[in-house]
Structure formats: C-alpha cells, structure tokens
Amino acid sequence: MTEKEKMLTGQVYSAVDPELLRELNEVKEVIHHYNALLPSATAERLSILKGLLGQVGDDEIMINQPFYCDYGKQISVGRRFFANFNLTVLDEAPVTIGDDCFIGPNVSIYTACHSTDPQERNSRREWAEPVSIGDNVWIGGSVTILPGVHIGNNVTVGAGAVVTKDIPDGCIAAGNPARVIKTIQ
C-alpha cells in the first residue's frame, strides 16, 4: 500500500511521504488563491470549492475566507452549508458534514492523530480517524472537534466547546470536554 492508501484507511502512515507532501503543497496553493479572492467573487469561490472538496451538496454552500484544509478531497458538505471565518479542517480522514449545517468562526475539525510517546511522534508516523456531523447542526464559534467524533442530527454545539466524544441526535452540548446539557427532541 502507498502511504496515502494507509492514511485513507486509518492505518499508521508516514506524514512526510513525498506524495503526500506534494499534494499538501498543491492544496495550499489552491487555498491561498481562494483566500485572496475578493468576497464579491462568489462564482469563482464556489468553483474553487467544487474542485477542492470531495463532495458539495449544492450551489448554496458558502465558506467565508479565510478557510484552511489539508487535502480537501476528504471533505464532503451537504446542501445549504455555511461556514464562517477561519474554518480549519485537517482532513487526513473523511470529514462528512450534512445538510443545513452552520459553522461559526474559528472552528477547527481534526482527523489527524499523533502518538503521545515522543519517540513515536518524532518518527512522523501518524494515523487518522474520520469525523461526521449530521443534518441541521450548528457548531458555535471557536469549537474544536477531535478525531473520530460523530455529531448527530439536530444538534447545537456551544461556543468554545471541545468535542472529544460522540454527541447524540437532538441535543445541545457545550463545555470542555463537551457534554450534553439539554435534550431538544
């Protein structure tokens, strides 16, 4: 298997593999161009997002600049997706976001995992775990979503939360670590 194939299947892989580094740098060029566009260049922004992301639900998606991601192709967003300024997605594994999701400013979604053992970590070997976010979800400002997390449908995640574990359907979660504080069924 190539290092990219290992990465995409959740296996330990080399993060300094030349193929992966080349792809990361190519995406950085695209992101740089996207972030430099005038906000009024909506058609060009949408065109770039459609080419960058793995799946786009419709033409009504909007990601305010600046936006950052590692690969782009592992990100899928549903219909009527909106993300505010400074969305950062480390998409070494799939990041799937449903329909009618709103993401506040300064949100980070991580899939990359690193060993807590310094020697292992310094080998630049890592693995990735997917993140999924259901339909009708609002992620408040400055939320961090960690690898392997699933957020259900009809959920609100309060500003500043750190989501370390799955969040079920129909609730409000907040805090560090995030926990369900109210059911809204």
Residue 180's φ and ψ, nearest 5 degrees, are: -70, 125
Residue 42: which of 55, 60, 56, 29 has the closest Cα?
60
* DSSP 8-state symbol, 117: S
Q: What is the dihedral of CA 167, 135, 79, 74, to 10 degrees?
A: 30
Structure tokens at 110: 């991580």
CA 173 vs CA 5, 80, 97, 137, 144: distances in Å: 34, 23, 17, 11, 13
Answer yes or no: are the C-beta atoms of 93 and 111 closer than 8 Å: yes
Active site residue 150: no
Q: How far apart are CA 107 and CA 104, in angstroms?
A: 6
- Residues forming the active site: 114
